[in-house]
Structures are given as structure tokens and as C-alpha cells.
């Protein structure tokens, strides 16, 4: 669409353009979005209001819910607007920059927070007598603050580098949001070095939080297996089952999407995984943390 130009002032999101089932998709995504908003807002409210939930685990959970609301709000309203309008959806260059930055920054913050929550569960299960001393309110505030600051500062250069490229092949993004992989594909520059650096940074973010998670759960499982009674094992595992389930869903859907060296390939697969990351995972997390948690559900 954009031919013989050195740069693009706006892009067009292909999204679900041309789909005969667009109205069904619109209804489904709108439903998922509403449930995601309500579910995570309920968690935030009860964590703030319920005195039984004034603990580090639920403090982290409240911030995780805020991140889930943000990641869906960054993507889904634009997607819904594109479904309501015929054809491809235009998006300005500045809006594309903001959307991509916020999406990556919030995602990075979420991974950092998931890693911190894994360490929190390790201390709770493996060193319960010192838990309140090690994981105190001051420590929790610092961990959350560092997670947010790191997430937003870490993504400044990747987004800057992405939009310093020259876009002369087309300005049609084969996704429902400003996907970095598709933007790299539209560039007429040699992006091999940029892609390699972005790949290393994605590896650092994912495995920087995944490694402490794996180490923490290795010690947690080892400790649980040493508990003599089955009821004691179940009680110990219940304290980290929700977080573990969230970690499995979150990392399994993001590993290929974010760590694939050649980001400009497999556009259709990226499209599907992006939908899972921005819609499915935030939708499931409130159910994971409430249905498996007696304190959140309340007394029976």
C-alpha cells in the first residue's frame, strides 16, 4: 500500500479484515474483555478491602491484576474498533509507538512480578518461620516499584530502535495491533542486527524471571515431598498452586512469541499467540486465583 516512500506516517492494521465471522469474533472478544475487566477489578477491590488478604502474596496479586487490565485495555479496544469498521484500521505513527511501548513495558513488568511472586512462594513454603521478616511490607513495596520501573525503562530502546527503521515496503501490519515482528518485516533496512539485539533482550526478560521461578519451584517441590502427611502436602502446595498455574499459562504462550530469533517469520502463528497473550491469559487469571483460593472465595 505504501510504495516508494522513505517512511510511514500511519499504518493499517489488517486484523480480522475480510472475516465472514467478524460479528461472532466481535461478540466473543467483547465478552472476554468485560469478564477480564470485572474479574481483575474484583480481585483488586477484595485485596484492598478484605483484612484477611493483607499479605504479600495478595499485594502482588493486586498489582498483577492491574497489569492484566492494562495489557487488555492497550490491545482489545483497538481490536474491537477495527471489527466495527469495514476494511483495514488506520493507526497513526505516534499511536503505534505508544501502543507498542505500553504493551511491551506492561508485559515486561508482569514477567518481573511473576518472578518475584515465585520467590515469595519459595520463602513462604521453605522458610515459613522467617517469612514475615524477609517478605515485609517495605520489601514488597520495593519489589513492586522495581518491577514497574524496570519494565518501562527496559523497553525504551527496543521501541526507539524499531521506529528508527525506514518503512518503504508497505504500511499494512498483518496483526490486530502494532506488532514489532510485523513492523520489522515492513522495513527496507537490514534488520538482522536489530533483531538479534531484540532477541537477546527478550531472552533476558523471559529467562531472567523464569530461572528464579524454576529454582524456587524446585525447592518448593522438594520441600513439599518431605512433608510426611498427605494433608500437609496438599496444604503446602495450595499456597502456590494458583501462581504456578498462572506461570505455566503465561510463559508457554510467550516463549515462542518473544524469543523467536527471526521475528518476521510465522506471521499467522504470531497472530494467534498474540491473541492468547492479550485476551486468553488475562481472562483466565482471575478464575485461577479465585477458584483455587479459599481466602478469596470466602468462607463456605
The 10s digit of each residue's pLDDT in 6-23 is 456 788 887 665 555 556
The answer to whether 175 and 266 have CB atoms below 8 angstroms apart is: no
> Taking Cα atoms as reference points, which of 43, 117, 104 lies closest to residue 71?
104
Helices 281-291, 22-49: inter-axial angle, 10-degree rounding: 40
**Residuewise pLDDT in 10s, the chain (300 residues):** 444 444 567 888 876 655 555 566 677 778 888 888 888 898 888 888 877 778 888 899 889 999 999 989 998 888 877 777 766 788 888 889 999 999 999 999 999 999 999 999 999 888 888 998 999 999 999 999 999 999 999 999 999 998 888 887 778 887 788 888 888 888 888 888 888 998 899 889 988 998 999 999 999 989 888 888 887 778 777 777 777 877 887 777 666 665 454 544 455 556 666 676 777 778 777 777 765 555 555 544
If one counts the domains in the chain, the total is 1
Query: Domain limits at 31?
Result: 10-292
| Residues whose CB falls within 8 Å of the CB of residue 210, separated by 6 or more in sequence, listed in order | 115, 251
How far is the C-alpha of 224 from the C-alpha of 227, rounded, in Å? 5
| Residue 127 covered by a domain | yes
| Residue 111 covered by a domain | yes
Instruction: Please write the tens of the pLDDT for every residue from 56-77.
Output: 888 998 899 999 999 899 988 8
CATH number of the structural domain spanning residue 155: 1.20.1070.10
| Residue 1 covered by a domain | no
| Residue 62 covered by a domain | yes
Please report, in angstroms and rounded to a whole number, the separation of the first and last CA atoms in the chain: 60
| Residue 298 covered by a domain | no
Model's pTM, two decimal places?
A: 0.85
How far is the C-alpha of 290 from the C-alpha of 245, rounded, in Å? 12
Q: For cell 488478604, name the residue.
A: 53
| Residue 145 covered by a domain | yes
The answer to whether 108 and 205 have CB atoms below 8 angstroms apart is: yes
| Residue 299 covered by a domain | no
How far is the C-alpha of 27 from the C-alpha of 33, rounded, in Å? 10
| Residue 65 covered by a domain | yes
Amino acid at each position: 500500500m505504501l510504495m516508494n516512500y522513505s517512511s510511514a506516517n500511519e499504518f493499517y492494521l489488517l486484523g480480522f479484515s475480510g472475516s465472514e465471522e467478524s460479528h461472532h469474533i466481535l461478540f466473543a472478544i467483547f465478552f472476554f474483555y468485560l469478564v477480564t475487566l470485572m474479574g481483575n477489578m474484583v480481585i483488586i477491590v477484595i485485596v484492598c478491602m478484605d483484612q484477611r488478604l493483607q499479605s504479600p502474596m495478595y499485594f502482588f496479586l493486586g498489582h498483577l491484576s492491574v497489569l492484566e487490565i492494562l495489557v487488555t485495555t492497550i490491545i482489545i479496544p483497538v481490536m474491537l474498533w477495527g471489527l466495527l469498521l469495514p476494511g483495514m484500521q488506520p493507526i497513526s505513527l505516534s499511536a503505534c509507538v505508544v501502543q507498542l511501548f505500553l504493551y511491551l513495558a506492561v508485559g515486561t513488568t508482569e514477567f518481573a512480578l511473576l518472578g518475584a511472586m515465585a520467590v515469595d512462594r519459595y520463602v513462604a513454603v521453605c522458610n515459613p518461620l522467617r517469612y514475615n521478616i524477609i517478605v515485609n511490607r517495605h520489601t514488597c513495596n520495593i519489589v513492586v516499584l522495581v518491577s514497574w520501573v524496570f519494565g518501562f525503562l527496559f523497553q525504551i530502546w527496543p521501541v526507539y530502535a524499531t521506529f528508527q527503521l525506514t518503512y518503504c515496503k508497505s504500511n499494512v501490519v498483518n496483526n490486530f495491533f502494532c506488532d514489532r515482528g510485523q513492523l520489522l518485516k515492513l522495513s527496507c533496512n537490514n534488520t538482522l542486527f536489530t533483531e538479534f539485539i531484540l532477541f537477546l533482550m527478550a531472552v533476558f526478560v523471559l529467562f531472567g524471571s523464569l530461572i528464579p521461578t524454576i529454582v524456587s519451584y524446585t525447592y518448593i517441590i522438594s520441600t513439599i515431598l518431605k512433608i510426611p502427611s498427605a494433608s500437609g502436602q496438599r496444604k503446602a502446595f495450595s499456597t502456590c498452586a494458583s501462581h504456578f498455574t498462572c506461570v505455566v499459562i503465561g510463559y508457554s504462550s510467550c516463549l515462542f512469541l518473544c524469543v523467536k530469533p527471526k521475528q518476521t517469520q510465522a506471521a499467522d502463528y504470531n497472530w494467534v499467540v498474540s491473541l492468547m497473550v492479550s485476551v486468553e491469559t488475562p481472562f483466565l487469571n482471575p478464575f485461577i486465583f479465585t477458584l483455587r483460593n479459599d481466602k478469596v472465595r470466602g468462607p463456605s
